[in-house]
Amino acid sequence: MTARPRVSAAGLAVLAALALLLAAGRPAYSRVVVTATPSPTATHEPTAALTPSTTSTATPTFTPTPMPLPSPTATATPTASPTPAPVVHAGPTGGWPLIVVGKPRTGLVALTFDAGGRDPGLTSQLLDALQHYGAHCTFFLTGEWAEANPELVRRMVSDGHELANHTYDHPHLPQVADQGILDQLSRTEQAVQKVAGVALQKYVRPPFGNYDDRVLALLTSHGYSVVYWSLDSADWRPEFTSRMVQDRVGEKAGAGDIVVAHCYAPKTAEAYPGVLASLRARGLRFGTLSQVLGR
């Protein structure tokens, strides 16, 4: 008869431990499962930073950065508005209207030209190009330019262009007292009436594009619409050639845009035959500021 093996005291202890585990009906090990909290449905809104757990060692994933707010001079299509013209509210307190873009649904581009100083530049050549393409636009005149170039002002009127106010001698309006600003506008109105027999539209483009809350409040309270732009032709920049101006306006301008250029710059007259050809090839038409604003 075979002798049964003798179990030591240590072996009995191991057997007892195994028996207890089997009796409990569970394995001799367990697994820790970490469940990530699901992120909410994306809303493109920044959320508050999460407070990290004191026991977490996981490396955080990419955190999205909110996109910057658009500039007031953005060219996005404006929504329908009960106001007579698309505006933004400008000035340090954001309380006064400033026209920066027209209505895209018109299908028109507003080509506008500022005439300051006394130098006519190549304005006659520019008018020839506009006439050739049947383009009507808006000229912002200073009073002294109108007085120095009466024949050109009369031609603008006879060719069907719209005339508006660019002050009398092109000052920085924030540096001018209220009555001085009003005098600037009335002197220009009188000068144009004298040389061309027409009244200016009640649009004002501040010289240098320079305004503040006081200027906007004063002009608005006297019935003027203050006009900025949505596309700068850059014809005033020395480093820009006429071809660069042509490409910039011809490729970038869209329906509803208000484009600013200048009569004194020879490169403007040189660029605009190409600008007009490019815009027409893209299916765009040209209109006065009033037409592009839907007025």
Give, in order, the Cα–Cα distances in Å from 114 to each of 4, 16, 40, 147: 116, 101, 53, 15
Strands 96-98 and 88-90: antiparallel
With residue 287 as reference, give the H or E element that holds it: strand 285-287
Identify the residue whose tokens are 């320079």. Answer: 210
Length of the chain: 295
**Cβ-contact 120, 267 below 8 angstroms:** no
Instruction: Copy the structure tokens of residue 262.
Output: 């200048």
Active site residue 172: no
Catalytic residue (choose from 136, 161, 170, 262): 262
What is the rounded distance in angstroms from the CA atom of residue 164 to the CA atom of residue 169?
14
Q: How far apart are CA 21 and CA 206, in angstroms?
A: 89
Q: What is the DSSP string of 98-129?
A: EB----GGG-EEEEEEEE-SS--TTHHHHHHH
Catalytic residue, from 89, 114, 169, 232: name it. 114
Cα distance between residue 25 and residue 19, in whole Å: 10
| Both tokens assigned to 83 | 């106001």
Residues with a known catalytic role:
114, 262
